[in-house]
Amino acid sequence: MKLLDQPSTRAPTAAEVAALVLNAAQLVVRLARAEVRRQHPGNLSLTQLRALDYLSADPDASLSAVADYVGLTLPSTSVLIDGLAGRGLVGDRRRLRLRLTAAGNAGLRTVLVAARAAVADRLKDLAPRDRALITRAMARISAAAAPTGHAARSNRSHGR
């Protein structure tokens, strides 16, 4: 980890930091996706997991709030939620407010634990000071990247 080991003579630009953050995010998502598929082949997509995660944090959310969070259009989110409801993971889709079922909560927890374990395995050899640095950086990135009106999701339950 060159950036952690060697101090730079100049501060990186916002564009350089953005490039590093996006690259790291893509790698972590790829790792999480692979673990989700390994643990639950043919089960839930990352978009479905994000919707479940959002509903876990914000019970009784509206369809438009879920759409905003997962980055889909309202019609696409409606199809997504209908599919999750059909699998018994989200309550009755016809209601104005959406809520996870007990099965949805249990499935989400199982997948998140597996994905986190896969990422933790890749980070296990980091020095404690590097883990502390990454923790502070991720908190700042989460706060800066969170949509207006949305709380950062890094400090919620599910074993986080």
Q: What does the pLDDT look like over 17-60, one tens digit per residue?
A: 999 999 999 999 888 888 877 776 567 888 898 899 999 999 88
50-53's contacts with Cβ under 8 Å and 24+ in sequence apart are: 51/77, 51/80, 51/81, 51/84, 51/90, 52/84, 52/89, 52/90, 52/100, 52/104, 52/107, 52/108, 53/108, 53/112, 53/153, 53/158
Query: Three-class SS of residue 61?
Result: strand
pLDDT band at 159 (very low <50, low <70, confident <90, very high): very low
At residue 98, what is the residue type? L
pLDDT band at 3 (very low <50, low <70, confident <90, very high): low
Q: For residue 154, what pLDDT is reported?
A: 41
pTM of the model: 0.68
Please tell me the distance from the alpha carbon of residue 116 to that of residue 60, in angstroms, as a whole number.
26
Say whether pLDDT at 1 is over 50: no
| Residue listed under structure tokens 């499935």 | 107
pLDDT band at 9 (very low <50, low <70, confident <90, very high): confident
Q: For residue 6, what pLDDT is reported?
A: 59
Q: What does the pLDDT look like over 109-137, one tens digit per residue?
A: 888 888 889 999 999 999 999 999 999 99
Q: Name which residue leads in pLDDT, 159 or 70.
A: 70
Helical segments of 13-92, H only: 14-39, 46-57, 63-70, 74-86
Q: What does the pLDDT look like over 66-109, one tens digit per residue?
A: 999 999 999 999 999 999 999 899 987 666 789 999 998 988 88
Say whether pLDDT at 146 is over 90: no
At residue 68, what is the residue type? D
Residues in the chain: 160
Q: What does the pLDDT look like over 15-29, one tens digit per residue?
A: 999 999 999 999 998
Structural contact between residues 98 and 81, judged by C-beta atoms closer than 8 angstroms: yes
